[in-house]
Structure 1
Amino acid sequence: MARFIVVPQWQGSSSSRAMRLIDGALAIAGDLPRTATTILEVPTEAGEDLGSGVRRFSSLTRIAELVSRAVTDGDGPAVVVGGDCGVALPSLRALDTSDIAVLWLDAHADLQTPATSPSGAFHGMVVRALLGDAPAGLALDPPLPAARVLLAGTREFDPEEEAFAPASGITLLGADALADPDRIADAVVATGASRVYLHVDLDVLDPGLISGVSHPVPFGATVEQVVGTIRAVRAKLPLAGATLTEFSPAEPEVAVDDLGAILRIVGALA
């Protein structure tokens, strides 16, 4: 049985409804198998940037330690449920990443740095942090080679990200690529990795299919495309771990409207 680690982290978000990420994580947790699920008690305070250029840096680094410890303490791959997508960084930090490719399914590129980010929010910097371009405590060390990072379903780039991405060595697969799961699976295999880490930011879905995301981007993927991509990749390579993040229902009472789609994706990851 898969194991789940639920991390109701909100501090990495730039959204005005960031606190709703707590509700989203706990709503998903309510439908996970109780005996296989650990819900982390994370700090609720915002925290300080401590001169890092990352908003709420002190809280984010404390939570990162909790996540890494929880991933390390269990047996087999963990599916980490956020919260904001910053929880992926400590999930990967707990693993030996020397043979891992990361497939990042997200509407946004998450390629900012503290020097370029207009918001200072860590959820816009996570992929750069995987490449080592982040303050100590929130940077993957050793960093992942860009050649083993793939962005899929990504359709919104800030100007700084547009300048960085093409020459970075990251594989860029747009929203249209999700219509062909085998193409994405082949691209993951082509990295030479022997395991894969799957990250799903729920705004990779088309906004018409999910209401509980705070930064929707038009022309996204269908649930079937995301599930098909996960299954195609897992058929090619063993799963090292996974994250599912950024569920922030407008009100706790309406979370149920999106849970059917979310649990289909969880089932494919698990």
Structure 2
Amino acid sequence: MNDSQAVHVIGAPLDLGAGCRGCRMGPDAIRCAGLLTRLRQQGRMVQDLGDVTLTEREKLSADSAGGHPKAKYIDEIVRFNRRLHRKTAASVEAGAIPLILGGDHSIAAGTIAGAARHKRIGVLWFDAHGDLNTVQTSPSGNVHGMPLAAMLGYGYPALKHIGGKRPKVRPEHLVLIGTRSLDTGEQELIQRAGIRMYASRELHRLGMSEVVRQALAAAGEGTDGIHVSFDLDGLDPGEAPGVGTPVSAGMRLTEALEAMRVIAASGLLVSAEFVEVNPALDLRSKTAHAAVELICSLLGSDTMEEKSR
């Protein structure tokens, strides 16, 4: 990443993968919280490419959770992610940084596949959850708990084959940060694949800056750069109340901002997504504003210092 790179903002207003509706309004909530103005004020060339959407016919078919009994709305989610994959890949190919605004975390299947189409990428996954379930292990059938497994090459064929049949990221190039709620199947996959994870206790023991430096060293080794996937439920619910699956004892916003600054300074950023902002659950747009702060820090703005001046 360099300061002259354009940023392509892509909205991904999908909430079929989540257990509750509302995060389809997330992209507009983040925009309304001042994202584009803030990025332009810090000197970024920003182009809003609009939203990837389902067609009216697909919206009608999504009224019932068909497709697979253990993967709700999977057909519609796959179609959406195929479009998102193409749009993300085109942005990377054009030399820009695609910045995707979710939507639920099932959109990561499209974004990671798109970023990996022309580059070999590492992934830093900031999330309370692993999202490493498959149709065999998911206790809920909600697809927002499955995209990372799919990108590693596990799970529902149509989902994992978006952008081609090869896995989009290798286990050694994936790092989970802030994870604190895992299902049994996810724990087994992490151990079996040797995935590096920094749970809340490691964040407190090592400090966020050191965690991210170690994560960048692992995910960046032998790759062309890093994709950042940030689920706002990675933050503590007191910092981000507007999420559908809050988990206590999460990251403080100041810690997460420090993580974004360390990534920005590395120069390794290829693409990023910020997901699961649900305005229907938010308090005075607190979560949407947190997303804006994180994005601006990732793209080079030292927001906390600016606010203190």
Q: Mapping of 1:54-203 within 5 angstroms?
A: 54-74=71-91, 75=94, 76-96=96-116, 99-139=120-160, 141-143=165-167, 144-178=169-203, 179-191=207-219, 192=221, 193-203=223-233
Q: Deviations over 1:181-206 (max 9, x none)?
A: 23322232134134111010000000
State the secondary structure of the residue aligned to 1:25.
helix
**1:208 deviation in Å?**
1.0
State the secondary structure of the residue aligned to 1:187.
helix
Aligned to 1:33: 36
Q: Deviations over 1:71-127 (max 9, x none)?
A: 133331201110001111111212336531100000011111001112111111111
Aligned to 1:204: 234
**1:160 deviation in Å?**
2.1
Say if 2:53 is the partner of 1:42. yes
How many correspondences in the alignment? Answer: 266
Structure 1 contact 196–237 (Cα < 8 Å) conserved = no
Aligned to 1:4: 9
Aligned to 2:247: 217
Aligned to 2:18: 13
Deviates more, 1:243-252 or 1:200-209: 243-252
Structure 1 contact 40–66 (Cα < 8 Å) conserved = no
| Amino acid of the structure 2 residue aligned with 1:138 | L
Aligned-pair Cα RMSD in Å: 2.1
| Amino acid of the structure 2 residue aligned with 1:181 | S
| Amino acid of the structure 1 residue aligned with 2:28 | L
State the secondary structure of the residue aligned to 2:124.
strand
Deviates more, 1:134-143 or 1:192-201: 134-143
Q: Structure 1 residues 52 and 38 mapped into 2: Cα distance closer, same or farther (>3 Å)?
A: farther
TM-score (norm 1): 0.90
Flag structure 1 segments of 5+ consecutive residues without an equivalent.
none
Flag structure 2 segments of 5+ consecutive residues without an equivalent.
1-5, 38-45, 300-309
Aligned to 2:40: none
State the secondary structure of the residue aligned to 1:219.
coil
Larger Rg: 2
Structure 1 contact 24–249 (Cα < 8 Å) conserved = yes
| Amino acid of the structure 1 residue aligned with 2:156 | P
Structure 1 contact 177–184 (Cα < 8 Å) conserved = no
TM-score (norm 2): 0.79
Structure 2 contact 124–215 (Cα < 8 Å) conserved = no
Aligned to 2:3: none
Aligned to 1:22: 24
Aligned to 1:230: 260
**1:262 deviation in Å?**
1.8
**1:231 deviation in Å?**
1.8
| Amino acid of the structure 2 residue aligned with 1:111 | L
| Amino acid of the structure 2 residue aligned with 1:186 | Q
Give aligned-pair identity as a percent.
26
State the secondary structure of the residue aligned to 1:142.
coil
**1:218 deviation in Å?**
0.7
State the secondary structure of the residue aligned to 1:188.
helix
